[in-house]
Amino acid sequence: MNPRVEAIAGSLIREVAALKRPTSIDLGLGEPTLQPNRRHLDAAMAYALEYGLRYTPNAGETELRAAIASHYGYPGMDRTENVCVTVGSQEAMYVAIKALLDAERDELLVVEPAFPSYVKMAALEGVAVRRVEMRQDEDFAFDAERIVAAVGERTRAVVICSPCNPTARVLSRAAASHLASALRARAGDPVWLIHDEIYREQTYVADAGYLAAEYPWTIVTNSLSKSNALTGLRLGWVLGPAEFVAQAVKVHAWATSCADTFAQRVALHVFQTPGALSEHAAWYEGRRADVLGDLRESGLRFIAPEGAFYACVRLPEGVGSTDAAYALVERFDVVAIPGIAFGEGMEGWLRLSWVGTPESVRTGILRIAEYARQSTPFGRS
Amino acid sequence: MNPRVEAIAGSLIREVAALKRPTSIDLGLGEPTLQPNRRHLDAAMAYALEYGLRYTPNAGETELRAAIASHYGYPGMDRTENVCVTVGSQEAMYVAIKALLDAERDELLVVEPAFPSYVKMAALEGVAVRRVEMRQDEDFAFDAERIVAAVGERTRAVVICSPCNPTARVLSRAAASHLASALRARAGDPVWLIHDEIYREQTYVADAGYLAAEYPWTIVTNSLSKSNALTGLRLGWVLGPAEFVAQAVKVHAWATSCADTFAQRVALHVFQTPGALSEHAAWYEGRRADVLGDLRESGLRFIAPEGAFYACVRLPEGVGSTDAAYALVERFDVVAIPGIAFGEGMEGWLRLSWVGTPESVRTGILRIAEYARQSTPFGRS
């Protein structure tokens, strides 16, 4: 067997999620609980019944590629040749890392806290990883200065997820612009930015920054998974300069051939229906307001979500996040993801997802607060 | 960019296919022209409307994995843990190559003529490739002796497609058994066999050999693409020993997360409907009889298809297959794939697909025969 594959450890997130009991309050979920809009599925079904489900071109249906490119309209990446349709944003990121980085030469810089898949993909490819942690005393705000300072001699790409899973922080326009100008000012080959925009339609602040709007060597990954409650559809895309996309399509072609034709028709219907990409946005706005109320009431230290559907809460000093996650399931029947799953810098925190029912989320948060009270040195006495 | 990706050349098959005009007779197609059975799609749609489309476990729905494993019932691989559901058989093969082979140590032996994707995937992974060509004077019959003799010091896996794209030959039971016993007799670590069974439901001979039935270190890749005219659904699977599948699931999880939930429900309906996997088999039997008649009438030297939906025909001595493919489009308005696309050993041949209408296939074959007559030294004079 390939030792690089054998060396990849299991996922702590899945390990904790597997503890869930039928009675558990699940704040561990990484996917929407809404039902998808059936009109998009109906359109794909009508297509399939009329035309069957044949291969599309490797890079995806031309009409869909064009619709995606023009929807975002990023400078220099607003045409068909700037898009490759992929198997969810997971394959979009995989293809980006694989097309960009040479394991013998290059290094990937991961802005943490971060979802673990970037590091796992790099490990699978044998690509060295450098990490730069946002500071918990700044509530993990994106710090452009700090990111630029971490770019090393061998760093050829930086991956940033904003809105962020797990911190729910959003890169500001000022930070995006600062990052772009600092990287432009560097000598030598350009450093690529990979912006994981998967939570883009769950953005609750006005000044969100988009790296592709600021910097030409940006690659954007996204999908319908979170915006339209279609995680299981596996339909994503990677956007970038045409010379990058030409290489990305090769990786995609030989790894998976093309994305599912049914899924591509769903996506085409979404992109051709005005407002459809953000049809769930109002629901998330409302749920965010609820959860902010719950968090304030709880007395926990928390980071107010600027995006995504998570909220991070601080554990009492000295309480390990994995221990806390296990204790919460055993003693309080609540599933929450330990911060350590997202990088060393998030040890001592929990990531809560608030896509469940308002009652269950509120109850879960209050139980975590109770656990925290019992676990503080004072509470324990 | 990653130089390994940049070095991968475009596809000759796609280059030739792109020459097609609206009037062309297309004998280049690599996918069924039948419509899929809508009952499978309806079942998936009913599921999606009731439950939405959420992530499945990385390895696929447990029920589907179990159904696939038990359908084939290969010794030692008839349980849930022997299956990983993938994005078509393309990802199944990619995952197999990646999980098995260490680029620094191992080599992949490809039995040619072969579809070019195995070599491309190995190139993408930096894995060295050795090739063993079946002999054209034996009509490219699978020769177990010859394959075993080509296994080198570093060879850790052998990939065989049977029924074969492009030759339409089928590995016999005797050849499979011979191959298995010769590999068992070798000293040292076992050499893996990867059997691409994608054309399994298009088998027209009684004594087809299945490597997984003969040899425990076998990995099988397959999909619904060819059996059920669902190429665009991107639903495949890799079957193998549990310790292999555990590693394969990691590659799959980090490259694509999981297969499409809609597609998995289609597959579940297929596997739960007796006979559904072979519901198109009779159509192919009938079309094969037609094409055998056409080929006999044409006077061309051809290989009678034992499986798949191709037939290979010999060009006159000295005529290059790429030149012939271009000339056929230009002068006879027929698309056919040059043999050289499948390995040096198939230079001088064309691969014809016979999934079009009976009239178009017959006309295409007769035009190729006319081209051949005009291109022989005698015909030219």
> What are A290-341's pLDDT values in tens digits?
999 999 999 999 999 999 999 999 999 999 999 999 999 999 999 999 999 9
In eight-state DSSP terms, residue A339 is: G
Give chain A's mean pLDDT. Answer: 96
Domains and CATH numbers, chain B: 3-34+280-380 (3.90.1150.10), 38-276 (3.40.640.10)
Judged against a pLDDT cut of 50, whether residue B381 lies above it is answered with: no
Give the gap in angstroms from C-alpha A378 to the nearest C-alpha of chain B.
42
Identity of the amino acid at A33: T
Whole-model pTM?
Answer: 0.97
> What are B163-190's pLDDT values in tens digits?
999 999 999 999 999 999 999 999 889 9
Judged against a pLDDT cut of 50, whether residue B150 lies above it is answered with: yes
d(CA A100, CA A86): 16
- Give the rounded percent of residues in chain B with a pLDDT score beyond 90: 96
> What are B90-134's pLDDT values in tens digits?
999 999 999 999 999 999 999 999 999 999 999 999 999 999 999
Taken in order A101, A107, A111, A117, the sign of the CA dihedral is: positive
Q: Which of A42, A104, A256 to mutate to test the interface with B (most CBs of B within 10 A)?
A: A256
Q: How confident is the model at residue B379 (pLDDT cuts 50, 70, 90)?
A: low
| Mean pLDDT of the region A161-180 | 98
d(CA A21, CA B323): 65
Give chain B's mean pLDDT. Answer: 96
DSSP calls for B90-145: HHHHHHHHHHH--TTT-EEEEEES--THHHHHHHHHT-EEEEEEPPGGGTT---HH
> What are B224-277's pLDDT values in tens digits?
999 999 999 999 999 999 999 999 999 999 999 999 999 999 999 999 999 999
**What does the pLDDT read at residue A225?**
97
Identity of the amino acid at B15: E
Please give the angle made by the CA atoms of B158, B284 and B164, to the nearest 5 degrees: 15
Q: What is the dihedral of CA A237, A241, A245, A246, to 10 degrees?
A: 160
Give the gap in angstroms from C-alpha A291 to the nearest C-alpha of chain B.
23
Whether A40 contacts chain B with CB within 8 A:
no
Check: CB of residue B338 under 8 Å from CB of residue B16: yes
* CB neighbour class for A378 (10 Å; exposed up to 12, middle 13-18, buried from 19): exposed
Whether A246 contacts chain B with CB within 8 A:
no
**What does the pLDDT read at residue A105?**
95
Please list every residue in chain B whose beta carbon sits closer than 8 Å to the beta carbon of residue A31.
54-55
Judged against a pLDDT cut of 90, whether residue B356 lies above it is answered with: yes
Asked if the Cβ–Cβ distance from A36 to B48 is below 8 Å, we say yes
Whether A46 contacts chain B with CB within 8 A:
no
> What are A179-216's pLDDT values in tens digits?
999 999 998 899 999 999 999 999 999 999 999 999 99
Check: CB of residue A212 under 8 Å from CB of residue A77: yes
Q: How confident is the model at residue B205 (pLDDT cuts 50, 70, 90)?
A: very high
d(CA B246, CA A9): 11
Q: Show the 3-state SS of B329-353.
A: HHHHCEECEEHHHHCHHHCCEEEEE
d(CA B299, CA A69): 52
Judged against a pLDDT cut of 90, whether residue B158 lies above it is answered with: yes
* Close Cβ partners of A4 (under 8 Å, ≥ 6 residues apart): A123, A124, A126, B102
Judged against a pLDDT cut of 70, whether residue A381 lies above it is answered with: no
**What does the pLDDT read at residue B64?**
98
Whether B7 contacts chain A with CB within 8 A:
no
d(CA A120, CA A118): 5
Q: What is the CA radius of gyration of chain A?
A: 21
